[in-house]
Amino acid sequence: MIVGAAQMGPVERRHTADEVSERMVALLEKASARGVELLVFPELASVPFFPHWVIEDREELLSYYDLDTPFARVAPLFTRAAELGIAVVMGYAERTNEGRLFNSSVLADEHGDVALKYRKVHLPGFGEPQRAEHQLLEKRYFEVGDLGFPVVDWKRTRLGLAICNDRRWAETYRMLALARAEIVCIGYNTPVKTPHLPEIDTLTEFHNHLSMQAGAYQNSLWVIGVGKGGVEEGVEQIGGSVIVAPSGEIVALASSRDDEVITADIDLDMVKKYRRDVFNFAHHRRPEHYGAITAPVDPRWSDDVRRVGALPGSDDDGA
């Protein structure tokens, strides 16, 4: 099965939805020419990553969200994908009919129908603005996802979705592997710089790949990880999109921080082989010893969070 990651350069406030659609369709056409059946776009793909700054005006904030699905904002992408028979995964800011706000991702199958939806579980950063070069305000703008880690049988495989910070948590991949996902599609927006921890700035790209390679290997699955790259609204993001095999090996890697398609012809039998001969869950997992993983989070853990410092007058509730 040939799969692809459609990395995107910056999406800025000055870019219209039509301009963004045009770029996404161009990436789709490139993928189609290479025989791609499944193409994955980044987290919050069609808008700037607005949790990087403070938005006081509610109307302005809501302008970044799509009601239910992202299909209306970038309609040409989904229309063309269905014409070409390509399934698309895309991240977007979701507003529900009840006014709930989530950081979501959707799989539109090769007919353009919603086959799977996921709402981000691990929201990084802070609920209040920090004194920092850029903000990490996902806890302010989104609720924690309420769908768990769903999977879907699609064509001759089983797919799961995850979003950005989810990829750093072992539980994400393990939940999806336990549901027998064979491919995990992950969109992300990762700044080169971590304002509250500058000493890890030189490790950002290493940690990006480390997380996805470990997740793929320890759970015998394929990972398609796709980010935005370049300077978006003053924040430089890493790009570094990859396709990772169940062996943990990177089989495709983006070479730029701009719009770029990477593809790989992936062997789904590798999943079966690694699940049989390396990480055989039935034979070797010992869940009777893993109870602490599902116990409620001990509140003392949050004492360790380092903050840059809340802005005067804000009520900093930490990460």
Report 239-268 residues binding ligand CDV (CB under 6 A). none
Between CA 239 and CA 221 the distance in angstroms is 22
The pair of structure tokens assigned to 26 is 């161009």
Phi-psi region of 22 (alpha: psi -120 to 50; beta: other; left: phi over 0): alpha
Closest separation between CB of residue 312 and ligand CDV, Å? 23
Q: Cα separation of 245 and 138, whole Å?
A: 30
Judged by CB under 6 A, the residue of 41, 173, 188, 217 near ligand CDV is: 188
Q: Which of 189, 219, 237, 241 binds ligand CDV (CB under 6 A)?
A: 189
Which of 164, 228, 232, 260 is catalytic? The answer is 164
Q: How far apart are CA 174 and CA 209, in angstroms?
A: 17
Residues between 166 and 185 with contacts to ligand CDV, criterion CB under 6 A:
168
Residue 43 or 128: the one with the smaller Cβ distance to ligand CDV is: 43
Phi-psi region of 86 (alpha: psi -120 to 50; beta: other; left: phi over 0): beta
User: For this structure, is 43 an active site residue?
Assistant: yes
Residue among 5 and 266 whose Cβ is closer to ligand CDV: 5
The verdict on 190 binding ligand CDV (CB under 6 A) reads yes
Q: Is 110 a catalytic residue?
A: no
Among 112, 125, 246, 248, binds ligand CDV (CB under 6 A): 125
Min dist. Cβ of residue 240 to ligand CDV (A)? 11
Contacts of 240 (CB under 8 A, 6+ apart): 190, 205, 208, 209, 227, 229, 253, 254
By C-beta, is 84 or 176 nearer to ligand CDV?
Answer: 176
Q: Does 136 bind ligand CDV (CB under 6 A)?
A: yes
Q: Which two structure tokens, joined as six digits, stand for 230?
A: 């370049």
Rounded least distance, CB 266 to ligand CDV, Å? 24
Please pick, from the candidates 124, 127, 150, 318, the single residue that binds ligand CDV as defined by CB under 6 A: 124
Distance CA 101, CA 287 (A): 34
- For ligand CDV, the binding residues in 35-54 under the rule CB under 6 A are 43
User: Least CB distance from residue 33 to ligand CDV, whole Å?
Assistant: 30
State the nearest-atom distance from the C-beta of 285 to ligand CDV, in Å: 27
Of the pair 50, 217, the CB lying nearest ligand CDV is at 50
Q: Which residues bind ligand CDV (CB under 6 A)?
A: 43, 124-125, 136, 164-165, 168, 188-190
Which residues does the annotation mark as catalytic? 43, 120, 164
